[in-house]
């Protein structure tokens, strides 16, 4: 017998599950059954692809037994099984780095953590909510020896040689006080029906049928075995037969979620290609959405046989939050996972699936604003990634993404903006940055606000990189308000005349500021503020430069800003009269530095800035 300790993360996870999920403790059975179902899926696949297992006598099934006197519950499957090494690896460590970073995100606040864990497959360890000892006896397909893993869920586990006649896994739970109630036929049946009805393999429940005589006395007990799930692949049933509730329950089992999905999309395609897809949009974004090693959410089946749940190419990366299945009738069953990537049938299914999902989302946006808003709150950003990566669907995606705006409440679309444009307005305007509140106060917006021109507020980190690559929406140009040429809708004859008058001042400032600026211009976009900075049409914005530097692109040439001054501001008019060069220099540099600060750019020489402020204050005293 070998004794092992749990990896620290396992102990953490165990502790967390036991303390935050006790109100949903029944899910332990769902988790055990879906592990069995996965193990059966894996073996089924191998019996078709692996020569050494083709002759295996394989009767895929899950059996559940209980003993209400001994207080045990047993879940047994004929799946792929585990050998000694697998047991140590799978039930003693957490191999997935996603799980580790999930644990890293825990707050210690039970309520918040329970929400997090609801989005996360808790798996086998949930058994310890209802059992004070768990025994797993397993034999791996194709191997002779069986092994028994035992643990009380505290410090570690033991492994010793075990007994099993054929391949598969038997999990025996020694129920604790919390779990007693599950040594019951009705409890087990109701949990299985609720969560595991559509598991593709039969689940049999063993119990004793009790017969009573006329006087109500027990007459006879007969051992009985009933199949308790419908074992039909739900996605193969016709849409008209299925209720929303059935779709939702299936999702919860399949997606290990405790909440209903936001939306589901069921497609049964016939014709040149025959396939079924059932996609779900989870109510909450999966916890690993922004991790490089996220788990793909779509499982591939061929003719109802599970092939893989580990293919990130079944849908484009930006749709990685979608959960569901793709079941094809046209792929060979023994399709190897390696060649899936280049498979043309699969590429076609993928292409139509993306179109279908985007169409359904567009419909949802039109028909159910509330749900669509909930969708946007979770998934706006991945959609924007799509704008960048999925050129073929860019137009549909442009209609799906949403933004905040200076004039409309809540979220708005490009289309709604276009409809609200002023009669002679030429462009769609937007401002980017990383804080919505700060953006709303930006001096760059003053003149737009004064002329009732709407500006879209883009406070998402990715906006800065993605939106400029779009150029137009339905032939209307998109312009960033911090770009030099975004003044088209602001200019007036009067402004141009005033520009001429200010030429000497502008020239003097240019000379004074030297190589700190690319240019100095008279602004048409300012109202209350004396100055602002913009960048040339072809230059990266200052924010973008900061991002590039943060990404390690240190070689970036320093792009200089253009300083714009407000011709109507008192400071600017006063500067026209200023004769003293030092005084003028202080004013000029302060106009530049304050504009940089408001734009969120840290000052290179804060000490010089403070000295100037002090000099100006002294002069004013």
Distances (CA, A) of 599 to 104, 402, 438, 440, 458: 34, 23, 9, 12, 14
Distance of CA 538 to the CA centre of its chain: 33
Q: Closer CB to ligand ADP, residue 77 or residue 460?
A: 77
Q: Closer CB to ligand ADP, residue 252 or residue 402?
A: 252
Q: By rule CB under 6 A, what string of x and - marks binding of each residue 528-567 to ligand ADP?
A: ----------------------------------------
Please answer whether residues 371 and 262 qualify as being in contact, where contact means their C-beta atoms are separated by less than 8 angstroms: yes
* Least distance between ligand ADP and beta carbon 91 (Å): 6
Q: Is 80 in the site for ligand ADP (CB under 6 A)?
A: yes
The residues facing 145 across adjacent strands are none
> Which residue of this chain has its Cβ atom nearest to ligand ADP in the complex?
123
* Least distance between ligand ADP and beta carbon 30 (Å): 11
Distances (CA, A) of 283 to 260, 294, 374, 511, 539: 7, 17, 8, 58, 40
Count of residues of this chain found to bind ligand ADP when the rule CB under 6 A is applied: 16
Taking CB under 6 A as the criterion, the residue among 79, 296, 316, 487 binding ligand ADP is 79
Q: Closer CB to ligand ADP, residue 77 or residue 564?
A: 77
Q: Would you call 604 helix, strand, or coil by DSSP? A: coil
DSSP assignments along 447-492, one per residue: HHHHTT--EEEE-STTHHHHGGGT-EETTEEEEETTBTTTTTTT--
Please answer whether residues 353 and 336 qualify as being in contact, where contact means their C-beta atoms are separated by less than 8 angstroms: no
Q: Is 137 in the site for ligand ADP (CB under 6 A)?
A: no
Q: Is 43 in the site for ligand ADP (CB under 6 A)?
A: no
Please answer whether residues 319 and 382 qualify as being in contact, where contact means their C-beta atoms are separated by less than 8 angstroms: yes
Q: Closer CB to ligand ADP, residue 72 or residue 169?
A: 169
* Least distance between ligand ADP and beta carbon 68 (Å): 24
Q: Is 90 in the site for ligand ADP (CB under 6 A)?
A: yes
- How far is Cα 105 from Cα 108, in angstroms, rounded to an integer? 9
Q: Whose CA is closest to 70, among 180, 224, 191?
A: 180
* Least distance between ligand ADP and beta carbon 147 (Å): 12
Q: Closer CB to ligand ADP, residue 121 or residue 468?
A: 121
Q: Whose CA is closest to 487, among 445, 439, 436?
A: 445
Q: Which of residues 12-31 bind ligand ADP (CB under 6 A)?
A: 31
Please answer whether residues 384 and 430 qualify as being in contact, where contact means their C-beta atoms are separated by less than 8 angstroms: no
* Least distance between ligand ADP and beta carbon 607 (Å): 56
Instruction: List the alpha helices (DSSP H) in 514-569.
Output: 542-550
Only one of the segments 116-124, 267-275, 362-370, 405-413 lies at the binding site for ligand ADP (rule: CB under 6 A); that segment is 116-124
Q: Is 11 in the site for ligand ADP (CB under 6 A)?
A: no
Only one of the segments 78-86, 350-358, 481-489, 550-558 lies at the binding site for ligand ADP (rule: CB under 6 A); that segment is 78-86
* Least distance between ligand ADP and beta carbon 374 (Å): 27
The residues facing 133 across adjacent strands are 174
Only one of the segments 65-73, 118-126, 326-334, 589-597 lies at the binding site for ligand ADP (rule: CB under 6 A); that segment is 118-126
Q: Closer CB to ligand ADP, residue 77 or residue 463?
A: 77
Environment class of 388 (CB within 10 Å of its CB; exposed 0-12, middle 13-18, buried 19+): middle
Q: Closer CB to ligand ADP, residue 133 or residue 516?
A: 133
- How far is Cα 430 from Cα 486, in angstroms, rounded to an integer? 10
Task: Return residues touching ligand ADP (CB under 6 A).
Answer: 31, 35-36, 39, 77, 79-82, 90-91, 121, 123-125, 169
């Amino acid at each position: 017998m070998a004794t092992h300790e749990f990896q620290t993360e396992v102990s953490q996870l165990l502790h967390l599950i036991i303390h935050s999920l006790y109100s949903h403790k029944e899910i332990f059975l769902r988790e055990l059954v879906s592990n069995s179902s996965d193990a059966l899926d894996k073996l089924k696949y191998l019996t078709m692809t692996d020569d050494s297992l083709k002759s295996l006598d394989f009767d895929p099934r899950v059996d559940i037994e209980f003993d209400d006197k001994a207080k045990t519950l047993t879940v047994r499957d004929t799946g792929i099984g585990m050998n000694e090494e697998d047991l140590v690896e799978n039930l003693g460590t957490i191999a997935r780095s996603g799980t580790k970073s999930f644990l890293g995100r825990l707050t210690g606040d039970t309520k918040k953590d329970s929400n997090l864990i609801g989005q996360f497959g808790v798996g086998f360890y949930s058994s310890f909510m209802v059992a004070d000892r768990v025994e797993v006896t397993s034999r791996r397909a194709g191997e002779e020896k069986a092994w028994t893993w035992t643990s009380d869920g505290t410090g570690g586990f033991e492994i010793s040689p075990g007994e099993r006649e054929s391949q598969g896994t038997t999990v025996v739970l020694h129920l604790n006080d919390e779990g007693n109630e599950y040594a019951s036929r009705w409890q087990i049946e109701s949990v299985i029906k609720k969560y595991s009805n559509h598991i593709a393999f039969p689940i049999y429940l063993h119990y004793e049928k009790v017969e009573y005589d006329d006087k109500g006395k027990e007459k006879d007990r007969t051992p009985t075995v009933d199949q308790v799930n419908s074992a039909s692949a739900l996605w193969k049933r016709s849409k008209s037969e299925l209720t929303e509730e059935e779709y939702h329950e299936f999702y919860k089992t399949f997606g290990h979620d405790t909440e209903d999905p936001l939306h589901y999309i069921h497609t049964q395609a016939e014709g040149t290609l025959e396939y079924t897809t059932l996609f779900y949009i989870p109510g909450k974004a999966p916890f690993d959405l922004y991790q490089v090693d996220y788990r793909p959410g779509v499982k591939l089946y061929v003719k109802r046989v599970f092939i893989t749940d580990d293919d990130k190419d079944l849908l484009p990366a930006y749709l990685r939050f979608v959960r569901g299945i793709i079941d094809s009738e046209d792929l060979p069953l023994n399709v190897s996972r390696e060649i899936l990537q280049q498979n043309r049938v699969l590429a076609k299914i993928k292409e139509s699936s993306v179109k279908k999902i985007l169409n359904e989302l567009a419909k949802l946006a039109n028909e159910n604003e509330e749900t669509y808003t909930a969708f946007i709150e979770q998934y706006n950003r991945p959609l924007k990634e799509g704008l960048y990566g999925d050129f073929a669907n860019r137009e549909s995606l442009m209609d799906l993404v949403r933004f905040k705006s200076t004039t409309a409440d809540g979220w708005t679309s490009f289309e709604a903006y276009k409809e609200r444009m002023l009669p002679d307005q030429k462009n769609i305007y937007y401002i980017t940055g990383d804080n919505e509140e700060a953006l709303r106060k930006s001096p760059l917006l003053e003149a737009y606000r004064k002329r009732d021109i709407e500006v879209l507020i883009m406070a998402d980190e990715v906006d800065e990189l993605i939106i400029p690559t779009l150029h137009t929406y339905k032939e209307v140009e998109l312009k960033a308000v911090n770009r030099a040429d975004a003044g088209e809708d602001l200019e007036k004859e009067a402004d141009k005349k005033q520009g001429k008058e200010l030429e000497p001042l502008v020239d003097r400032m240019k000379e004074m500021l030297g190589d700190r600026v690319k240019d100095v211009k008279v602004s048409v976009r300012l109202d209350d503020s004396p100055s602002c900075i913009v960048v040339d049409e072809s230059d990266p914005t200052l924010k973008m430069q900061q991002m590039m530097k943060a990404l390690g692109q240190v070689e970036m040439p320093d792009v200089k800003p253009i300083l714009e001054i407000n011709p109507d501001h008192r400071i600017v008019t006063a500067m026209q009269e200023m004769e003293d060069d030092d005084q003028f220099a202080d004013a000029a540099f302060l106009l530049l530095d304050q504009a940089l600060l408001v734009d969120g750019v840290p000052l290179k020489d804060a000490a010089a800035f403070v000295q100037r402020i002090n000099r100006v204050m002294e002069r004013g005293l």
